[in-house]
Amino acid sequence: MELHNGSLYKSILITSQDKTPAVVAKVLEKHGQDGQDAGRFQLVQLLPGERELPLPPSANVFYAMNGASLDFALRPRAPADLSATFPKARAAGRRRALF
């Protein structure tokens, strides 16, 4: 998180039940900002090769972490940034791969 007050925290404790908004609120509170503003920020995982993996609000951050990198960044959302939602697959005993 780019801040003007110079404070930087290298780690935040998360549990296996923390979703993205709760983690964002913890980060904001560590930086002395209002945790209620979590909806204005997006959590992204920094991957090798200068790639990023944005985490949706419904993600369980503990399980979403990719073992290739444990580096994350918190960025302000663009005003028109809308979360993509995928339609739910009908439960027919089959699974579909999206990618």
Q: Which CATH architecture has domain 20-76?
A: Roll (3.10)
Scan for tokens 């209002």, then name that residue. 34
pLDDT at 88 over 80: no
Two structure tokens written together for 91: 């439960």
pLDDT band at 38 (very low <50, low <70, confident <90, very high): confident
pLDDT (0 to 100) of residue 74:
86
Domain ranges of the chain: 20-76
pLDDT at 5 over 60: no
pLDDT (0 to 100) of residue 4:
54
Nearest CA among 25, 84, 32 for reference residue 55: 84
More confident residue, 16 or 9: 16
Two structure tokens written together for 77: 């959302």
Arithmetic mean of pLDDT, 49-72: 82
